[in-house]
Amino acid sequence: MSALVEIRSLSKIYERGKQRIEVLHHVQLDIEQGDFMALMGPSGSGKTTLLNLIGGLDSPTDGSITVGGQRIDRLSEGTLAKWRASNVGFVFQFYNLLPMLSARKNVELPLLLTRLSAAQRKRNAAVALELVGLTDRAAHKPGELSGGQQQRVAIARAIVSDPTLLVCDEPTGDLDRQSAVDVLTLLQQLNRDHGKTIIMVTHDPKAAEYARHTLQLDKGSLVEQTEQAPA
């Protein structure tokens, strides 16, 4: 069975004036359907760049990325944007919620790109909020929620369109320890109980313990891959 994500000889070079910075160097990686992968490494190791390439937010300089049988590195910018909307849910460190909208309206945002009716969008958002344990906070605006609750709203927004992939960039980086545990436990439940394939960048070894695998990057190269029983 082929992997959900297949990365072959992937390189990424940024040019700043006359300077060429190779952020990723011929990375080879397979990620199976239903995996929960933590990407770790020092600052500048290329982990966020790799995450952005897998999520279709950036394009490689060389090599290929195949997700669900689709060569996303070959897609035009417009087609890639449509692919992201249908296949990828994003969770960022700082939530990126719109402060004037309720939790439910924030969760509904990705569905505005679909043909769903207003009633169906509302129902889907309610289901997503229930999954993250925030049904009773649906009418609250971000400023009325704790950091952990805001991140759970962001996760609900990421899963509301039932994406193939959930990509998380330091999802607990702005949270206290207990809120971080709550968010990581939620991600683990989404992986175990709902089959979500999750790729998470983190600096925190304790956060990485919640994943099924940990991938270590250093200076743009894959240096180590470990498997663990999730916490």
Work out the angle between the directed axes of helices 118-131 and 147-159 (0-180°, nearest 10): 130
Enumerate the H helices of the chain as residue ranges: 47-54, 77-87, 103-108, 118-131, 147-159, 177-194, 205-208
| C-beta of residue 151 within 8 angstroms of C-beta of residue 179 | yes
CB 195 within 8 A of CB 163: no
181-226 per-position pLDDT tens digit? 988 998 998 899 888 999 999 988 899 999 998 989 888 888 866 6
Residues 117-129 have pLDDT tens digits of: 888 888 899 999 9
**Strand 36-40 and strand 62-67: pairing?**
unpaired
The average pLDDT across 154-171 equals: 90
Global pTM reads: 0.88
Q: State residue 103's pLDDT score.
A: 94
Domains of the chain: 34-61+76-227 (3.40.50.300)
pLDDT (average), residues 121-145: 91
Q: Identify the pLDDT of residue 161.
A: 87
Over residues 28-73, the pLDDT tens digits come to 989 999 999 999 988 888 888 999 999 998 889 899 999 988 899 9
